[in-house]
Amino acid sequence: MFIAVVAAALIFDLLNGFHDGCNAVSTVIYTGALKPRIAIGLSAFFNFIGPLVVGVAVAETIGRVVDGSQIADKPQLIIAALLGACVWEILTWIWALPMSSSHALVGGLLGATLAALGAGGIHWDKVILVFAALIISPIIGIATGYLVMRLSRFFFAKTRWNLSKADRFYKHMQILSSSWVSFSHGSNDATKIMGIIVLYLAAQRGLGVREYIDQEGFPYWVILSCAGAMAIGTFLSVKSFRLIRTLGERITKLHPINGFSAECGGAIIIQVASLLGLPVSTTHVVTSAVTGTGLASKLGAVSWKVIRAIMLAWVVTLPFCAGMAAIFYYLLSWLT
């Protein structure tokens, strides 16, 4: 069962990297700042080192959504939660829709826990904290993308460069900004799966996540394996441009100044959230920041039809994953 839990967690982590790898590289590819393979390889590297440098505060938050002391004899709960989230990852990739892996994971946890333990097995204060971060961060993403875009355009105007020279400058700057997004993505998203594995380890000792970490420390093999799975998934996204195309060309017309502004805006939010231990959706934040850069030009610069489809996927994510996780829990309980 230990092998099954870790395998399911790392598969979800790999799918997360494969699905969300586009967040950091879509803009830098579509503005011509980097070739696809170089951009994705760089993104995979920074996804790996992000959680090693920033720490595991987000993992503790996610691991404490469920009362670990109650699930010692119900490891199927964790596997069901991960499988429910994995199904949604695959479906939204097929539909080429950016989605929130955080929403999917939390939805899976809630659905499986309600099926196994009822409402009493959930720490609702942590759920409220997680959802507050997930709901507010896209709003801040739009505002930050808009603000950084306006500042970038102000700098562009003051330098009195022509468009060609400005494009060359911001293409170089995008290498740094896209790397920052990848670093931030790894520090937030990879650590969520670390929290799930530690939740299982704590449950086997009859402890909550905080008590387990206080007694045993945070297992380094969990950090390395999750960071590695995220990096591999990101690197494999070079084989698919479905989501890269959605963020790169379907939301708004991207110039290097847009790409730089969106990446900086998104990275700032994700990095601060990681340091505070708040799980946020990299997809939501970066998509919102791209939208904000489009709004800095005019409302008509944004494809609202695409935005509506993305928002619909966001709304459906949590109930779908919760329902799938509950179904998987009942199936696994029957089989075992």
Q: What is the 3-state secondary structure (H, E, C) of 244-256?
A: HHHHHHHCECCCH
Lowest mean pLDDT among 25-29, 60-64, 221-225: 25-29
pLDDT at residue 69 is higher than 80? no
What's the total number of domains in the chain? 1
Q: What is the pTM of this model?
A: 0.86
Cα separation of 116 and 70, whole Å? 10
Encode pLDDT of 7-53 as tens digits.
Answer: 999 999 998 888 776 666 777 777 777 887 888 889 899 999 999 99
Tell me the pLDDT of the chain averaged across its residues.
83
Nearest of 72, 6, 63 to residue 229 by alpha carbon: 6
CB 68 within 8 A of CB 202: yes
Query: What pLDDT does residue 21 have?
Result: 66
Query: What pLDDT does residue 304 have?
Result: 55
CB 102 within 8 A of CB 314: no
Cα separation of 164 and 258, whole Å? 15
Query: What pLDDT does residue 300 have?
Result: 45
CB 79 within 8 A of CB 102: no
Tell me which residue has tokens 């505070």: 276
Residue 9 structural domain = 2-335
pLDDT at residue 330 is higher than 90? yes
Q: Which helix (H) or strand (E) holds 181?
A: helix 163-185
Residue 248 — very low, low, confident or very high, per pLDDT cuts 50/70/90? very low
Residue 286 — very low, low, confident or very high, per pLDDT cuts 50/70/90? confident
Cα separation of 249 and 246, whole Å? 6
Residue 329 — very low, low, confident or very high, per pLDDT cuts 50/70/90? very high
* pLDDT > 90 in the chain, percent: 28
Q: Count of CB atoms within 10 A of residue 217's CB?
A: 8
Cα separation of 58 and 51, whole Å? 10
